[in-house]
Structure formats: structure tokens, C-alpha cells
Amino acid sequence: MLGPQPASAAVAAALALHGITDQVRAGRVITEWSDLVGAKIAQRTRPDGVVDRVLWVEVATSAWLHELNLLRSQLLAGLRERLGEPWLFDELRFRLGGQRRRDPVALRGPRRPPAPARPTTPPATGAARERIVREAAEVDDAELRELIARVRITHDR
């Protein structure tokens, strides 16, 4: 019988048992993109998938596409270092957002049927709207206060 083991080891063993270790690691690319490449680059890019060991990244503009191509080797080295071994991809390629995707896109995981549409709730009115505005008025920041009130009124929450 095995002795106690760290939770991380147990999780790693469970992922390996089900053969989804690389899928979970690839999910980190999406969820941690800003931390992996920095906020400035993350604002203008989006990881699109790993196909044939190539990480495809959508870029907002052609100017950024050119700039990132110049930084490709540095970005690839940084991503590999942060994600650790075994490497999920050997190459990094950029394309303008909206261009044709290459399937399958491994980062997106298995395709699931779309969730059933939830009925939309009507915006808050009357006393509910007044309560939301009153509660939002307690927020000091004007821009944040307006955003909170608008979202809550729209979704009646």
C-alpha cells in the first residue's frame, strides 16, 4: 500500500490515467495567456490552438503581427519555460484575427453540444431598479458605479 502523497501528485496521476494531461496543460495556455505573455501582448492576441505541434495565435492588427514575428523565438522560449516539459508545441505562428482556422483546434478541447438557451430576464423596473441604483450609489468610483448599476438593471439582479 502506498503512503500519503501530495494532492498535486494525485491529480497528475488521475489526469494521466484518463489520458488528458496535455489537454489540461493546453488549457493553461488560454486561462493564463496574460500571465504567460504579458498584459500588453495579451490585449492584442489570443491563443487559437495547437495543430501538429504548432501553437497558433490570432493577432489584432498586421502591425502587431509583424512585431510578434520579430519576437517569435523569445516568446516561444518564454512560453516553453513557463509551461514546462514535456513541450506542448514546437513552433509558434501568428495570423490576423478572423482568418480561416486550421482544424482541429486542440486548445478548445472536445466539442460539446451547445448549452440550451436560457430565457432572458427583462430589465429591472420600478422598485427593483430604484433599489439597484441605491445600492450601486455606495460605490465610490463613478465609472464602476455606473457599470454595476447598468449590468444589474439589465439582468434584474
pTM strictly above 0.85: no
The pLDDT tens digits of the residues spanning 100-110 come to 555 444 455 44
In this structure, are strands 54-59 and 45-51 parallel, antiparallel, or unpaired?
antiparallel
Give the chain's domains with CATH numbers.
Answer: 9-108 (3.30.300), 126-155 (no CATH)
Contact 94, 49 (CB under 8 A): no
The pLDDT tens digits of the residues spanning 93-149 come to 999 987 655 544 445 544 566 667 766 778 888 888 889 889 889 888 888 788 788
Query: Helix, strand, or coil here: 106?
Result: helix
Edge-first strand listing for the sheet containing 54-59: 45-51, 54-59, 91-96
Torsion, CA 78, CA 79, CA 80, CA 85, rounded to 10: 130
Cα four-point dihedral sign 64, 69, 74, 80: positive
Cα 67–chain centre separation:
22
| Rounded Cα distance, 122 and 67, in Å | 46
Task: Output Rg (C-alpha) for the chain, integer angstroms.
Answer: 22
The whole-number average pLDDT for the span 70-88 is 86
Contact 57, 92 (CB under 8 A): yes
As a whole number of Å, the end-to-end CA separation of the chain is: 52
